[in-house]
Amino acid sequence: MSKLVPAVRSGDVLIPALGFGTWQLENGTARPLVEQALAAGYRHIDTAQIYRNERDVGAAIAASGIKRDEIFLTTKVWVDHFADGDLQRSAERSLEKLGVDHVDLLLLHWPKPAVPLAETLAALNEVRDRGLTRAIGLSNFPSAVMAAAQAVSKAPLATNQIEYHPYLSQKTLIAAAAATEAGTSITAWSPLAQGKVAQDPVLIRIGEAHGKTPGQVTLRWLIQQGVIAIPRTRTPARIVENFDILDFDLSEAEMAAIFALARPDGRIGNWLDDAFQWDAD
């Protein structure tokens, strides 16, 4: 784990607060970018079965020369594999593609009503019991479904990975996660609102005061909340830029100004099944 990056304790694992996301990095593009991220200092890499790049991510980790136990590796089970038996087999396939004997965190990618939650969580716990993952968790689960999942899970749910950036308030879900017995963490995907933060006057102004970009300010805002951020970029220079957020602090007034950017139409990705409902704010 990089000594520079703070870690968030979630359940029984420590998760580096800044990671490199690999969504949409297909057709061989993930490997060189993950290699560059690791060279820049990242020690938390996030992928998923549906990203179709687990082999590339695993190849980058193997080529890096960094010890496996120094890298926190996350992948996610796609919704088509939530049934008992199928979930375990899909986890085994992910490990084969990644070229590792375990991941550090295995997440359910989205809630799916077609398979009983208790069945899915029992299968996920079995994968953890077998040592195929150090920890388990969720992705894109509203607070009510998150609570239902924890109620039927033997092991703590280490994180809930959700869309979170300055334009989308997630205060209800963040509070609900923190209130769980294990202190479930929040991991933010699309933390830079898919580039929208770059032109924001408030973030530009705060960045100028610190000699930082709007993106760096946004990532710092997340980490100062105790939220884990996994920005994804295709630009090598931006990989380094996103990592350079550990040498400044935002004031309470600056944090408040960024929180105030949230708006009702701030959500970018909405693939939640109609059977579930997002938290109001």
Domains of the chain plus CATH, in order, are 13-195+222-244 (3.20.20.100)
- Beta-carbon contacts of residue 122 (< 8 Å; ≥ 6 apart): 84, 152
- Could you confirm whether 51 is annotated as catalytic? yes
Mean per-residue pLDDT of the chain: 96
**pLDDT on residue 3:** 44
Task: Tell me the pLDDT tens digit for each residue of 138-148.
Answer: 999 999 999 99
In whole angstroms, what is the distance from residue 175 CA to residue 236 CA? 35
Task: Return the pLDDT at 260.
Answer: 98
> What is the C-alpha to C-alpha distance for residues 40 and 48, in angstroms, rounded to an integer?
22
Instruction: Find the catalytic residue in 42, 51, 164, 167.
Output: 51
Residue 49 main-chain phi, psi, to 5 deg: -60, -45
What are the residues whose beta carbons fall under 8 Å from the beta carbon of 125, sequence distance 6 or more? 136, 153, 154, 155
Q: Please, is 272 exposed, middle or buried when counting C-beta atoms within 10 Å of its C-beta (0-12, 13-18, 19+)?
A: middle
pLDDT of residue 11: 81
Unique residue bearing structure tokens 């959500």: 267
Burial of 108 (0-12, 13-18, 19+ CB in 10 A): buried
User: For the chain, what percent of residues have pLDDT higher than 90?
Assistant: 94
Q: For 224-272, where are the E strands, in sequence order?
A: 228-229
Q: Choose among 23, 40, 1: nearest CA to 187.
A: 23
Give the residue from 146, 149, 210 showing the smallest Cα distance to 174. Answer: 146
Q: How far apart (Å, rounded) are the C-alpha atoms in residues 90 and 81? A: 7
Is the pLDDT score of 4 beyond 80?
no
Per-residue pLDDT tens over the stretch 68-89: 999 999 999 999 999 999 999 9
Residue 127: pLDDT above 80? yes
Per the CB < 8 A criterion, the answer to whether 198 and 213 are in contact is: yes
What confidence score (pLDDT) does residue 274 get? 87
Per-residue pLDDT, 10: 87
**Tens digit of pLDDT for each residue in 33-73?**
999 999 999 999 999 999 999 999 999 999 999 999 999 99
